[in-house]
Homo-oligomer: A and B are copies of this chain.
Amino acid sequence: MRKVFFATGNPHKLKEAKRVLSKYGITVEQLTVKRVEVQSESLEEIARFSLEHVMREVHLDGVVLVEDAGLFIEALNGFPGPYSSYVFSKIGNEGILKLMDGVENRRAKFESVVAAVNQSRIVTFRGEVLGVIAHEAKGGKGFGFDPIFIPYEGDGRTFGELEVEEKNALSHRARALRKLAEWLTGSSKII
């Protein structure tokens, strides 16, 4: 049974990661450490920087990972992007819906980057999911902008209307985590 330490303060992310990784025989332990995130438009840069900071703070024998994600809306030049969590805390789903009022092009994507360190080597894994911004918020599941994002590959429901297992079948984070799991269990090579 492998174990990874996930540095996150977000219980939803922790739950999603536990579900995804358990299928590979990997257990997840939460690591509560103050995260330092750099201002950047690159999720990879943010995740790497954050992981390097975590590594200076804690010394663990095992795999440590951080994850950074963002919602990128095409008509808003990629806003809110890497600052999604901050923007959500300030203007919420209503703010984004207001910015998108009357906007025809509603294409958006969620991106996730997982950075993991094993024996001082850092690797990153990326996942994404394409979809559209809904015209109203729906669903009380998930977190953040989930209630206004409708994935193309779904059945028309928003992420906020999906159970964890359903969201994990499609989500950016689950995709990045599966790449991590395959790397850890040796079932795929890093590209």
Contacts of A39 in B (CB 8 A): 36-39, 46, 83, 86
Contact residues of A between 51 and 98, Cβ < 8 Å to B = 76-81, 83, 86-87, 89-91, 95, 98
Q: How far is the CB of A26 from chain B (nearest CB, A)?
A: 28
Contact of A99 with B by CB under 8 A: yes
A149 to B100, CA, bound (A): 23
Contacts of A37 in B (CB 8 A): 38-39
Q: How far is the CB of A87 from chain B (nearest CB, A)?
A: 7
Q: How far is the CB of A186 from chain B (nearest CB, A)?
A: 34
A103 to B41, CA, bound (A): 30
A86 to B76, CA, bound (A): 12
Contacts of A155 in B (CB 8 A): none
